[in-house]
């Protein structure tokens, strides 16, 4: 299950509680009992990639964790929520939201005049593989988003 | 001001000072609903098979009160509104039969079709995020606690403090 909002996430018998501040750890609880299981470095949004058993947290940075070992896989600096990243015509990804689209973590935001998104390849396994610049989802699109 | 978007089965719904449904293929506006006040969160939309075929969202008035608005998903007609409690400005959660919304000091379940109250549950702290629905349980993050609430009755299944 992916989410991309501040709602708690339920997956594999665990409850992931998204913190309100990115400086606060993201705790995980047993969904049946409420017992504490573990905690990850925080983010104000969370996206769970069930297939890869990855947790992505988005706050002051974009981070990836292995949910089996709880090991941090990689981290990259991320513009604040809602900041302009790139211009597209895609309406679906707007709304300052995050979702998983095949192999990419898509980061979207919308302003009164345009919608923006960017995407990060989530298949990477090591911090050395993190690209220097955020990848565009549709390189052919150069036009501003419609109103 | 930035509108909040939700992608439904049949349309994209945007809510801010007005609510609109957008055709996902053409971008045409299918319907528009004007309401006094502003919505600050993404609307909640039932799927096409649910009984309560509505778009739900809270609207904060200029006077400060927050009401819940339910619009018919395909027409934008008002199904019901409720302003009898001071609701949270967070997105509601729905299972199609009921709508779960934060209220001052707790969580309120409303009938999805009529808006009539079903139960209210007191919470240890204010709601920090919309509830998550899973297997007949609602999971909530409140100020200093994580709580599981049974959707059938509103009773607490467990309550874990967070340090």
Asked if residue A66 is part of any domain, the answer here is: yes
Judge contact between B115 and B81, C-beta under 8 A: yes
Asked if residue A49 is part of any domain, the answer here is: yes
**Band of pLDDT at residue A121, cut at 50, 70 and 90:** low
Size of interface A-B (CB pairs under 8 A): 72
Contact A31 B139 (CB under 8 A): yes
Residues of A in contact with B137 (CB under 8 A): 31
Asked if residue A77 is part of any domain, the answer here is: yes
User: How many domains does chain A contain in total?
Assistant: 1
Asked if residue A139 is part of any domain, the answer here is: no
**CATH numbers and ranges of domains, chain B:** 4-124 (2.40.128.630)
* Cα–Cα separations (whole angstroms), residue B89 to A12, A59, A100, B70, B117: 30, 22, 26, 14, 18
Contact A110 B3 (CB under 8 A): yes
Residues of A in contact with B28 (CB under 8 A): none
pLDDT, tens digit (0-9, with 9 covering 90-100), for B63-117:
889 999 999 998 999 999 999 888 999 999 999 899 999 998 899 999 999 999 9
Tell me if residue B2 falls in helix, strand or coil: coil
CA distance A132 to chain B (A): 30
ipTM: 0.83
Residues of B in contact with A25 (CB under 8 A): none
**Domain containing A118: what range?**
9-129
CATH of the domain at A91: 2.40.10.480
If you measure CA to CA, which chain B residue comes closest to A39? Answer: B162
């Amino acid at each position: 299950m992916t989410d991309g909002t501040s709602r708690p996430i339920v997956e594999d018998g665990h409850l992931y509680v998204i913190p309100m501040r990115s400086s606060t750890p993201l705790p995980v609880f047993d969904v049946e009992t409420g017992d504490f299981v573990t905690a990850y470095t925080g983010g104000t949004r969370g996206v769970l990639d069930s297939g890869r058993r990855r947790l992505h947290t988005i706050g002051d940075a974009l981070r990836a964790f292995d949910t089996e070992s709880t090991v941090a896989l990689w981290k990259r600096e991320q513009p604040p929520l809602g900041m302009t990243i790139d211009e597209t015509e895609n309406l679906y990804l707007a709304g300052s939201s995050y979702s998983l689209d095949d192999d990419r973590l898509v980061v979207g935001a919308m302003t009164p005049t345009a919608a923006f998104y960017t995407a990060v390849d989530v298949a990477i396994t090591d911090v050395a593989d993190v690209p220097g610049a955020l990848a565009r989802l549709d390189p052919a699109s150069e036009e501003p988003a419609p109103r | 001001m930035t509108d909040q978007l939700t992608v439904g089965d049949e349309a994209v719904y945007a809510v801010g000072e007005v609510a609109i449904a957008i055709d996902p293929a053409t971008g045409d506006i299918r319907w528009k609903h004007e309401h006094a006040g502003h919505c600050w969160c993404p609307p909640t939309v039932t799927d096409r098979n649910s009984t309560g075929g509505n778009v739900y969202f809270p609207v904060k008035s200029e006077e400060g009160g927050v009401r819940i608005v339910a619009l018919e998903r395909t027409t934008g007609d008002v199904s019901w509104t409720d302003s009898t409690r001071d609701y949270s400005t967070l997105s509601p959660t729905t299972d199609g039969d009921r709508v779960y919304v934060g209220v001052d000091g707790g969580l309120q379940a409303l009938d999805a079709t009529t808006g009539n109250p079903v139960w209210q549950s007191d919470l240890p702290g204010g709601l920090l995020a919309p509830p998550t629905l899973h297997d007949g349980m609602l999971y909530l993050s409140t100020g200093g606690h994580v709580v599981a609430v049974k959707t059938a009755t509103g009773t607490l299944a467990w309550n874990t403090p967070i340090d």
